[in-house]
Amino acid sequence: MMKRLLHIFSLGLALISSCLAEQKGEFMEQTVIIFKPDAMQQGRVGAILQRFEEMHFHISGIKMVQLSEAILREHYAHLADKPFFGDIVEFMSSAPVVIMVLEGENVIEEVREMTGETDSRLAEKGTIRGDFGKDKGQNMIHASDSVVGARAEVLRFFEPAELFPLRHNLAD
């Protein structure tokens, strides 16, 4: 219990300090992308990554991992009361995934636009989910949906040593 409280407290502190750093212009906006098991199995990682590179977003971290049920329960905590919660956790832990941090001006919103609706069947053609996804569960990628959400996700999935951010100084 005490350990969990300390963990939440340190996460909060890190969140506040990194948001302040961003406000001061020391960091560019970041977002977290997870190439879900369907993207991995259908060989879509390259095609999707190419879209991000064509937007000139900077890759500040990228790795392949097998996500644990514990980290997925935390990541999808906002859906814990939904009947499909167990299915997402099971699907996302069914195979290793590629996870990355992308950086760029307005990257969170732009990537969400490129990603399309949660339900791939409703996502517009030209979006990642519209072009490659199957349905609501198998929708190719996760992408952060807000600055605060992205910060928490960067801290959740990456160690500082795994990140190579483009520091930008407004005075340069």
Question: One symbol per residue from 140 to 169: x for binding Mg ion (CB under 5 A), - otherwise; what is it?
Answer: -----x------------------------
Of 58, 75, 78, 142, the catalytic one is: 142
Say how many residues touch ligand IDP, by CB under 6 A.
9
142 is catalytic: yes
Question: One symbol per residue from 91 to 130: x for binding ligand IDP (CB under 6 A), - otherwise; what is it?
Answer: ---------------------------x------------
139 counts as binding ligand IDP under rule CB under 6 A: yes
Helix (H) or strand (E) holding 141: strand 141-143
* β-strands 97-103, 30-35 pairing: antiparallel
d(CA 129, CA 119): 8
84 counts as binding ligand IDP under rule CB under 6 A: yes
Task: Select from 21-29, 93-101, 121-129, 139-147 the region that touches Mg ion (CB under 5 A).
Answer: 139-147
> 110 and 45 in contact (C-beta within 8 Å)?
no
* β-strands 97-103, 58-65 pairing: antiparallel
| Encoded amino acid at 50, one letter | Q
- State which of residues 57, 114, 133, 142 lies at the interface with ligand IDP (CB under 6 A): 142
Those residues with Cβ within 8 angstroms of residue 128's Cβ, 6 or more apart along the chain or in another chain: 48, 51, 114, 115, 116, 140, 141
Closest residue by Cα to residue 143 from 106, 105, 104, 99: 99
145 counts as binding ligand IDP under rule CB under 6 A: yes
Name the residues annotated as catalytic. Answer: 142
Residues that bind ligand IDP (CB under 6 A): 79, 84, 88, 118, 136-137, 139, 142, 145
